[in-house]
Amino acid sequence: MKTRTIGKSELVVSELGLGCMSLPTNQEKARSVIDAALDYGITYFDTADLYDAGQNEIVVGQALNKRRHEIILGTKVGNAMNPDGKTWTWNPSKKHIMSSVKESLRRLQTDYIDLYQLHGGTMEDDVEETIDAFETLKKEGLIREYGISSIRPTVIERFTEMSKGVSVMMQYNLLDRKAEQVFPLLQQRNNSVIVRGSIGKGLLTETFAKRLANHAAFPPFTNVQLSELLPKVEAIEPHMQAVALHYLLQSPVVATVLIGSRTVEQLQSSLHAYNQTISEETLQQIEQLIPFHPYQEHLIDFEHYH
């Protein structure tokens, strides 16, 4: 497994990271997936205080605590759980971040977080207060670096301009390439992308036909459009998941591509795809085949960063 460095930090991560949101809540089942990931050379593990109302952090912390020094651990903050335990309220305040970090550390059974990420963001947020919280946590040694998870160019532009953050988590895949519009900005500011949603809800894998039969769509693509498009992709390269992953890793701004795995088998299929060789020519051919849908809202002057 190759590695890359996140932005201007000293955090070195595996090209594939484990997105822990889809892990089972059963400790033993989750441990088997995490152990397999470690065995295959995955060193970046990404969770959030929101996933399973904190249970995901507990499961991850329990499975990783004996190998903590070998890995880079990322979690997220900014969504306060409501008393019902099912819904949440956006809260990027310093007070909330300073108290949430202690809960995350306790659940993760660790005394520091490698990458602490703001789990969303709006232009109405008091971003200076949020950044002040992250900088304070860095000084206290509770976090090593911080970043943001957002798909809004306006929010990303402001956060990366005003902060010393090192990463932006974004949905990015062959069916949704609008993140590429923000890449020149991130390259200029020495921030890395952590990719989520890499296989387009499974539509960019060999199981796409089964998903389409169940009326799957991936807006703005309709089920009918995908039923025409995806077989053409498959005709160029049957290893669709390999195409999906290698396309994303072409960009130097991408530090790691998260794969979600509920089972060891799912993890193995992602690793098998990663280990395939896909030519640049094939990737170009497929890129030209799939329509590009640019950002329609939260717009910035993209040209300014080219």
The DSSP symbol for 86 reads: S
254 in Cβ contact with 195 (< 8 Å): yes
What is the sign, positive or negative, of the torsion defined by CA atoms of 241, 218, 175, 76? Answer: negative
Task: With respect to residue 222, please indicate whether it lies within any of the assigned structural domains.
Answer: no
Asked if the model's pLDDT at residue 53 lies above 70, the reply is no
Asked if the model's pLDDT at residue 252 lies above 70, the reply is yes
Alpha helices, DSSP H, located in 75-152: 94-108, 127-139
- Residue 80 pairs in a beta bridge with 89
Can you read off the two tokens belonging to residue 22? 């889809």
Asked if the model's pLDDT at residue 54 lies above 70, the reply is no
Residue 14 CA to residue 1 CA, distance in Å, equals 6
115 in Cβ contact with 11 (< 8 Å): yes
Asked if the model's pLDDT at residue 294 lies above 80, the reply is yes
Residue 16 CA to residue 292 CA, distance in Å, equals 24
Residue whose structure tokens are 């956060």: 159
Task: With respect to residue 116, please indicate whether it lies within any of the assigned structural domains.
Answer: yes
Residue 250 CA to residue 281 CA, distance in Å, equals 12
- Residue 155 pairs in a beta bridge with none
Residue 232 CA to residue 238 CA, distance in Å, equals 10
Q: How far is CA 107 from CA 15, 42, 251, in A?
A: 26, 21, 34
List phi, psi (to 5°) of 218.
-140, 90
**Beta strand 72-77 pairing with 79-81:** unpaired
Task: With respect to residue 285, please indicate whether it lies within any of the assigned structural domains.
Answer: no
CA–centroid distance for 50 within its chain: 15
Best CA proximity match to 239, nearest among 269, 261, 210: 269
Task: With respect to residue 36, please indicate whether it lies within any of the assigned structural domains.
Answer: yes
Asked if the model's pLDDT at residue 183 lies above 90, the reply is yes
Range of the domain at 109: 3-202+248-277
Task: With respect to residue 289, please indicate whether it lies within any of the assigned structural domains.
Answer: no
- Residue 115 pairs in a beta bridge with 74, 145
Q: How far is CA 211 from CA 203, 215, 226, 297, in A?
A: 7, 7, 10, 29
Task: With respect to residue 284, please indicate whether it lies within any of the assigned structural domains.
Answer: no
Can you read off the two tokens belonging to residue 42? 């995955």
Average the pLDDT over 218-239 and give the result: 97
List phi, psi (to 5°) of 244.
-55, -45
The DSSP symbol for 167 reads: E
Q: How many CB atoms lie within 10 A of CB 301?
A: 9
Domain CATH number, residue 178:
3.20.20.100
Task: With respect to residue 79, please indicate whether it lies within any of the assigned structural domains.
Answer: yes
Residue 138 CA to residue 135 CA, distance in Å, equals 5
Residue 72 CA to residue 150 CA, distance in Å, equals 21
Active-site residues: which are they?
51
Domains in the chain, number: 1
- Looking at residue 2, what is its pLDDT? 98
Peptide bond into 220 cis (omega under 30): yes
What's the whole-model pTM score? 0.96
Collapsing DSSP to helix, strand or coil, 76 comes out as strand
Over the stretch 65-100, which tens digit does the pLDDT of each residue have? 889 999 999 999 988 888 888 888 899 999 999 999
**Beta strand 3-5 pairing with 12-14:** antiparallel
Say which range, 40-54, 195-209, 222-236, has the weakest mean pLDDT.
40-54
Task: With respect to residue 269, please indicate whether it lies within any of the assigned structural domains.
Answer: yes
Average the pLDDT over 8-16 and give the result: 98
